[in-house]
Structure 1
Amino acid sequence: MKRLLSTSAAAILAATALQAEPVAQGAPNTDYQPASPDQTRAEAMQSGVTLKVEPVVEGLAHPWAVELLPDGSALITERPGRLKLYKDGAVTEISGLPEVSADGQGGLLDVALAPDFESSRTIFLSYAEPREGGNGTAVARATLAEDGASLGDVQVIFQQQPTYDGDKHFGSRIVPNDDGTLFVTLGERSDVPIRDTAQEMSHHLGKLVRISANGEVPADNPFVGQDGVMPEIYASGLRNVQAAALDADGALWTIEHGPKGGDELNHVEAGKNYGWPVISYGVNYDGSPVNEGITAQDGMEQPVYYWDPVIAPSGADFYEGELFGDWQGDLLVGAMRPPALVRLHLEGGRVTGEERLDPGIGRIRDVKVASDGTIWVVTDEDRGGLYRLSPEG
């Protein structure tokens, strides 16, 4: 078993990781050594920004996602199974949603717009779908009515297989591509031994899939035509990805929850295996090693960056705007433990700096950058909310 770090050993690891002062945080849970000096505990950045927090909608029940519409309105999902539209100061509950399994971590999860939303009114929803014998992550396509009050033409275009009777690790972010395809992140359902099947290619657990807007398999997916492999699979070996975004060059980045330590930022590429649960920079919640307690293996990708202790990441977006000085191109991540908006600066595909800002509003579940440069977030609380963030002064 990997021994836990003493306070002095933790300080040595933190000091040697980058020879620079990292963001203030607790001692790591393990003595695992990063594969490269910049893989964890990046140099702390100080932007000097004080966040101005404007409540947009309050009193929401565990909101999970926000999507900004071209007209300045917003769609908000609530995990118990409600979709709401905020527009011109009013909130409308939208009817016509599919049935969801709202137990534990399940419920109504992500919402995303089709690239041609302005003409098609097409949106996509991910959710925990109730099924005989359990549940599973599903994606539905629907048309949002012009008045924003209802959904029509609802079609389930993807169903994660197999069905499992559990209430954890559903994923699931939807990332539309300019080519008309969708990336969908899928959890491995958490429990032992089901989580080990994140390495099996005959199903969708612990995978990232790529499908067309109608749920079909793109012909250029990496495993099309391979026996025993689900053709929707784009990447494997993922734990529970609840943050995913495309950068300015169209590259896909994901952030997943680790166990006790080992939250990961990955630059996901077609056909790659990201290792869970064979390799991890975390340990089980009881402190025992994850499987063999190793952090690297041939044929498995290293995370670009990892956190130990965790930040509980959910929701991310790349900043493109003028309000926040030199933040252009930085990755903004929602953090739930401790609550924060985490800013990562990337250069050459590596993290070179980290900043944590606490708006004082609770657990940030999703992050979206608006066209005017403001940052919109939802907080996953019993009485959560939608908030707009901008620089004070």
Structure 2
Amino acid sequence: MDASDLDDVLASVREFIRQEVVPLEEQIDADDAIPDEIVAQCKAMGLYGFTIPEQYGGLGLAVAEEVELAMELGWTTPALRSLFGTNNGIAGHVLIEGGTEEQKKSWLPRLASGEVTASFGLTEAEAGSDPSTLSTVARRDGDDWVINGSKRYITNAPVADVIMVFARTNPDAPGNRGISTFLVPAGTPGLSTGPKDHKMGQFGAWTSDVHLDDVRVPAEAVVGGEAGIDNGFRIAAKCLAHGRVHIAAVCVGMAARLVHETVEYARARQAGGKPIAAFQLVQGMVADSVTDLHAGRALVRQAARAFDDGSDKVAGPAAAKYFCSEMVGRVADRAVQVHGGAGYMRGVAVERFYRDARLFRIYEGTSQIQQVIIARDALGPAARG
């Protein structure tokens, strides 16, 4: 995208978030839902397809461009980004990375417009960051596949029109091998979702269990067709690496908002006849958060450039996600501390962001999984003994 066009997109999104979404944050948190008018505006602005290639109706942003947008999205409740995050991220990229041309033409334009919402069905009760213990299975039955199993914590599952289901198609293959990905439309017999999860934070972003009981899909439902059989983990790994850079950028955006809230409160709050901003220990917390923010922003931009040029699509995304998800937790904690008792009260932005931020260290690979990826990349074969 041309630089001036990107600037226009960022300016429009910034205005939309700060003028339209921020005033509704408490309502979204209380109602556990994004208002319909906000959803409609997101579709009209092209937010459901900003990473989807232009030939399929999206904006086709490169990762270096995408992270600038993600940092703007991070300024408000992460439930907003979650509306369209799976279309642009781990679910949509399943098709971008591994789909046949027919699958791309059939699904990507509808993902980009928001006509269809997709979910990424990988996580299970005993298989999350490490899918080697995946227990959902798909067996061949004539020209069809029959899928059985359950998924856990699946974002947008209650409203998904299609779920990218990862299932073991070769039970004899070790570890991460022998896994395939299936396009399973909502309404397919045997496919059901559980009640919405009641989470610590990120209200308005819906997750639930997904159950597959003798779900029968045609051979064309295998992402990538015959070439995609037993290739699901490779596809998942590519999607997750891209998603980690994006999540890191969202964390930077949230950290920017938390620094803003902290600075404004420290300037306004009086103690002993002067603003608490005059106290050096408060200044120290603000300085630490500002420094964390700068470091996270620089790391995200570097990781995005390396992802785009192909020089680092493994350790860089992991390092960015690891640092920035941990960083925003520290910034949120300091923000609550500077606010004092007010920071522990519902209705105060930093209290809500403190709850929201905690999830970033868990999904799309826990911090511990990122440490393993980073260390193995640095240490090479020695890391495996």
TM-score by length of 2: 0.25
* Bigger Rg over Cα: 2
TM-score by length of 1: 0.24
Quick check: which one's strand share is greater? 1
Quick check: which one's helix share is greater? 2
